[in-house]
Structures are given as C-alpha cells and as structure tokens.
Structure 1
Amino acid sequence: MENYFYQYGLLAMFVIVATAVPIGMLVVSYLASKVSIRPHKPNQTKSTIYECGVEPIGPNKWVQFDFKYYMYALLFVIFDIETIFLFPWAIQFSKLGMFALVEMFIFVMILLVGLIYAWKVKALEWGK
C-alpha cells in the first residue's frame, strides 16, 4: 500500500512542477518587463500577423494557404500516430509474442503502402 501512495506522490510532484515552471516563466518575464531588463518597444510591424513568412496585404488579414501545407500536415499526423502505436508495442514486445509481431508488421505494411501511394501521386513534392 505504501508503494501505491508513493506513485501518486510522484504524480502530484510532476503536476506541481509542470504547473510551476510555466507560471514561473511568465512571472519572471513580467517582472523583467517592469524592471526594464527586457525592452518594450511596440510598433505597427510587431503587431501584424505573421504566418510562415507570408505577409498579409490589404484590409483582409486572413491569408489562404496552399493545399500542399495541409497535405504535409495530414501526412505528419498519420505517421505521428503510427509512432504513438509503435512505442507501447516496442515496450511490451517480449511479452506479446508472435501474434502481436504479425499484427504490427501488417500495420506498418499498410502505412508503407500509403506512403508509397503518396510518393507515386507526387503528394510529397513541394514544387507542384
């Protein structure tokens, strides 16, 4: 039972540190601006929207992005989720046995087929 509460104590310490660090950074930044350590010179250029080097022009400040950004983002999300599924499997690899190995092999092959398809339809080429 002692180990049970010890684990929750570690979790509580993690939550406290994970909350205190960003709050501490904000407080230090705020105090640094009040003591004039950090320069504060607002101007029109600093207040404009900046996204990926594209400067907004005209009264409408929303910029329409090219579809290729969304394609890369979608492919990133797919392969990022793949790694999320691979980590627990890799940790428990020795306990899961041959069935899990075959399942993961099929999973990776399906993703590999998707990557090859994206490559063939030239979804990964930037200069289209």
Structure 2
Amino acid sequence: MISGAHVILYSQDAEADRDFIRDVLDLPGVDAGGGWLVFRLPPAEVAVHPTDGPPRHGFFLMCDDLDSQLSGFRAQGVEIIGPVSEQRWGRLAAIRLPSGAELPLYEPHHPTAHSR
C-alpha cells in the first residue's frame, strides 16, 4: 500500500530554500539526519496531464484564498512573480524562493481530491 508521496525540489541554494519553507511557508519538518530537513506537506493530490513535449513534473501549492495568501507573503517580504492569472481551473500566481526558483500556487476552481 502506498503510504505517502515524497516531493523533491532541486535548488541552487538548498539551505536558503529550506529556511524559507520552514520560516515563511511555516511547514513543520523533521531532521532526517545530519541537519537534512524534510517537511510535512498539506494534503496532496496528483494529476496526469497530456503533453506534446518531453515528459516533465510540476509542483504547485494550493490555497483556499489566493489574495489573502499573497497579501501575507507580501507582508513577509516575499516576491510575488507577476500578476494573478485567471485560468479555467483556478487562479494562479507564483512566488520567488531565495534560490531564485519560482514556486507556483493556486486557488483551485475544480473539485479537489485531497479533501475526500
């Protein structure tokens, strides 16, 4: 039986991004050994989308109120990348991690599997 999922974010400044995940995203974690932090994620879901290009994977955080979440991030000095875009499946935005990587987040307008 599958008991969970392990998501890996590759980073050019892993320590700064780990600090951000712990301190700004406020995700609890454990030390997996030698200071290697692994964070608990909120409930999750997986979707498979078709592509005409090479296969790739994506990681998005979901929130119930995107405007409120972005306001909280702004108050903490987090860079919001571009304006919120309206998609047929939800409202999409992205934030900048300390490493410079983008982390997308969205407010879904579709039924979600993680709360079933």
TM category (shorter chain) comes to under 0.3
Tell me the TM-score normalised to structure 1 length: 0.19
Tell me the TM-score normalised to structure 2 length: 0.20
Determine which structure has greater relative contact order: mean sequence separation of CA pairs < 8 Å that are 6+ residues apart, divided by chain length: 2
- Between Structure 1 and Structure 2, the one with more strand by share is 2
- Between Structure 1 and Structure 2, the one with more helix by share is 1
